Structure 1
Amino acid sequence: MASSSRWIRPEVFPLFAAVGIAVGICGMQLVRNITTNPEVRVTKQNRIAGVLDNHAEGERYAEHGLRKYVRSRAPQIMPSINKYFSDPNIPK
């Protein structure tokens, strides 16, 4: 009996996928904060500058593309299904 069949079962693959996606999202957020957050200073030259009152850079960080995209959308998860079940004019 192989040891991999004992430890890796098909039932745990969704768990591996969920944990992998969560780790990926955390890694993406970490990279985003290190590279674009105006309050994070990695290089010595930027740390010497101290606290900067650069509101434009902070606004650009806070108002990223995903937030701009979601702001113009309806706050629903599945709008077509919601409309189908709530609109009385749609024949069922």
Structure 2
Amino acid sequence: MAVQWHYPLMSNYPLESDTNNIAAYLYFFKVLHSRKEKVPDILDINDITTFTFFKSKSITHNHMSKWGLSDGMTAQLRENVPKYVQQINKS
């Protein structure tokens, strides 16, 4: 079943069985329902294509804030990586 993205740029990332796909990560946490922030577009513009970028020490909270993400969204994206990895490992 194809997922319809609310934001045009994220339509380039179909939700597939590829768990490294950023779209799968955002869908897992229901980030896509955020209409206030265009999270998928912001990530696409900044070449964030996989959730593993959020574990990087090179991409800080400050970097992500400069992209236009709120502190809460930045925290959610960064802090939920271990939960997502755990979910992937269960599959």
Q: TM-score range by the shorter chain?
A: under 0.3
Q: Which has the higher contact order (CA 8 A, sep 6+)?
A: 2
Q: Which is greater in Rg? A: 1
Which structure: greater helix fraction?
A: 1
TM-score (ref. length: structure 1):
0.23
